[in-house]
Structure 1
Amino acid sequence: MAEQEYELFAIRYATRDARRSEHFIGGDPHDGPMPMDYFVWVARGGGRTFIIDTGFNAETAKKRKRTFLRCPVETLGALGIDANAVEDVILTHLHYDHVGNFDRFPVARFHLQERELAYATGRYMRYQRLAHSFEVEDICGVVRLNYARRVMFYHGDAELASGLSIHAATGHSAGLQFVRVNTRRGLVVLASDVSHFYENMASERPFTTALHIGEMLEGFDKLRALAPDESHIVPGHDPLVMKLYPTPSPQLEGIAVRLDVPPSGTAPVRADYFPGH
């Protein structure tokens, strides 16, 4: 039986001004502006809708000095999705920009690597260098969801539905996972924070928020191993995503793009990543 195909979307809900030196461990010899975008993703097909990450809200944006463009949950409505009816939310990890708004999905079950919750409630949270990426109330909320039997825990890779799977790739956070989705253009790998920008992976220089640098480098390898080629990998925070992919409708220009169609150009990639392609 053929695998289910999904429509796949990215919704841009926030941004921030930043510099290149903030995005690469060890800095960057050519420092200059390098903005960061914030996304949530939607996979829809076979009568099921998967929301991938839930973003943050206006209050958190103000606290962390991010430019909040729109509520990602409310924006789902433009794609015909009612958050009140969503049954499946995949949390790639529990950093503030990926798990905020969890409470806006009242009937959903949440798919999470068990190691991530252990990390976010464990001994390393006494260190601000690691704890700053989390919001305490978000983590407490996920604990409450677990007590309500609404968290599905995983230990590594798993298929959640025909044509849709999760894959553990730790390093940036202890329980980080990415998502692979079958679409009309083939398999698309949503990297989330395994690679924030195309350039992190292309230059093999991980992002500055790191628990284990070696595992972050291995994460790049895993992305490449599970993608047909580089054009099927979508990084988690790169503004280039909004330029390379088309909008679903004129009303969503600058707000959302389709990822189930080929990109209109190429992004940075190392030639030997995909030998034979």
Structure 2
Amino acid sequence: MHEWKALAIHYGTAQRPVSDLALEINDLHEAASRIDYFVWLIRLPNRLILVDTGFNAEEGAARGRTLLIHPVAALSRLGIEHSDITDVVVTHLHYDHAGNLPAFPKATFHIQDREMAYGTGRCMCHERMRRPFAAEGVVDAVRLVFQSRVCFHDGEAEIAPGCKLHLVGGHSKGLQVVTLTAGDALLVIASDALHFQSYLTNDNAFPLFADYAEVMEAYNKLRILAGRNGLIIPGHDPVVLDRFSALATDLPFARVLL
């Protein structure tokens, strides 16, 4: 078996206008830009943690996104059955992070109190705020609650030795990020707290958010969590594919983070 502790699984992509991807546009000439879609896999002793579950082909097509490989199929290519996943961290309930929830029959699902309240509450009466949510995905999450399979968190939590969750909000009310410590290495899986790496230096933002101030503060929190030597992994940046090597030549979608 290949040696790895954390993988980024590149499962989808899309070409979008710059205005869809950045709040501030300095170039007056809009050009198509690429956004990539990832889920992340963490392997620890006796634990196999999936961070987010992606979207399916139907949801992707409805939103003009290309599904390169279904996340469950990607796991299968890695020799992992969907029933092998012990924990699923739902960073937030947007369609591209919380689709396919029922596909993991033995997992405990980790979600922040604030995110479930947001995704099922009065804010969803407003079209712009509910736009990135898929109703069926949110209903699937509610069903998991009624099956006693959701572990709710209120802020920071350690879900396994060396693996912690941190509430940051901003892009979605209950957005959480994941840190993984292994020896001297520290990884910060930022998910949508940081769509693109460049936003850390230019203070730009994805133009869809629940709270702009929290988006900006989340950047500071990511820097603090990473410290001087930690790696911050952006949630939708094609640079991840250039920065990290494929696990194997026949597994180009799986990039080794740690």
Query: TM-score w.r.t. structure 1 length?
Result: 0.88
User: Aligned partner of 1:20: which letter?
Assistant: V
Determine the C-alpha separation between the residues in 2 that align with 1:231 and 1:207.
Answer: 23
Partner of 2:76: 77
User: Aligned partner of 2:7: which letter?
Assistant: F
Partner of 2:33: 34
User: Aligned partner of 2:6: which letter?
Assistant: L
Determine the C-alpha separation between the residues in 2 that align with 1:28 and 1:64.
Answer: 26
**Residues 87-135 of structure 1, C-alpha deviation per residue, up to 9 Å, x if partnerless?**
2000000000000011100111100001101001111111111111000
User: Aligned partner of 1:259: which letter?
Assistant: L
**Residues 208-262 of structure 1, C-alpha deviation per residue, up to 9 Å, x if partnerless?**
1111111000000000001034760000000110111011111112x110001xx
Partner of 1:95: 94
Determine the C-alpha separation between the residues in 2 that align with 1:16 and 1:120.
Answer: 25
Aligned-partner SS, 2:102: helix
Determine the C-alpha separation between the residues in 2 that align with 1:85 and 1:259.
Answer: 21
**Residues 157 and 165 in structure 1, CA contact (< 8 A), matched pair in contact too:** yes
Determine the C-alpha separation between the residues in 1 that align with 2:248 and 2:67.
Answer: 22
Partner of 1:226: 225
Determine the C-alpha separation between the residues in 1 that align with 2:27 and 2:158.
Answer: 41
**Residues 8 and 183 in structure 1, CA contact (< 8 A), matched pair in contact too:** no
**Residues 13 and 69 in structure 1, CA contact (< 8 A), matched pair in contact too:** yes
Partner of 1:136: 135
Shift of 1:168: 0.6
User: Aligned partner of 2:168: which letter?
Assistant: A
Shift of 1:184: 5.6
Determine the C-alpha separation between the residues in 2 that align with 1:86 and 1:231.
Answer: 26
**Residues 93 and 177 in structure 1, CA contact (< 8 A), matched pair in contact too:** yes
**Residues 159-216 of structure 1, C-alpha deviation per residue, up to 9 Å, x if partnerless?**
1111100001111000000000123660100000000000122211111111111100
**Residues 92 and 175 in structure 2, CA contact (< 8 A), matched pair in contact too:** yes
Q: Which has the higher strand share?
A: 2
Matched, 1:104 2:103: yes
Determine the C-alpha separation between the residues in 1 that align with 2:102 and 2:39.
Answer: 15
**Where does structure 1 lack aligned partners over 5 or more consecutive residues?**
1-5, 261-277
**Residues 224 and 230 in structure 1, CA contact (< 8 A), matched pair in contact too:** no
Partner of 2:186: 187
Q: How many pairs does the alignment contain?
A: 255
Determine the C-alpha separation between the residues in 2 that align with 1:182 and 1:35.
Answer: 30
**Residues 186 and 229 in structure 2, CA contact (< 8 A), matched pair in contact too:** no
Identity %: 40
Shift of 1:19: 2.8
User: Aligned partner of 1:122: which letter?
Assistant: G
User: Aligned partner of 2:245: which letter?
Assistant: P
Partner of 1:58: 57
Partner of 2:154: 155
**Residues 69-91 of structure 1, C-alpha deviation per residue, up to 9 Å, x if partnerless?**
11111111222211123120000
Determine the C-alpha separation between the residues in 2 that align with 1:36 and 1:177.
Answer: 20
Aligned-partner SS, 2:250: helix
Determine the C-alpha separation between the residues in 1 that align with 2:224 and 2:170.
Answer: 17
**Residues 185 and 230 in structure 2, CA contact (< 8 A), matched pair in contact too:** no
**Residues 86 and 108 in structure 1, CA contact (< 8 A), matched pair in contact too:** yes
**Residues 10 and 257 in structure 1, CA contact (< 8 A), matched pair in contact too:** yes
**Residues 20 and 28 in structure 1, CA contact (< 8 A), matched pair in contact too:** no
Aligned-partner SS, 1:15: strand
Shift of 1:32: 2.8
**Residues 195 and 235 in structure 2, CA contact (< 8 A), matched pair in contact too:** yes
Q: 2:7 aligns with which of 3, 6, 9?
A: 9
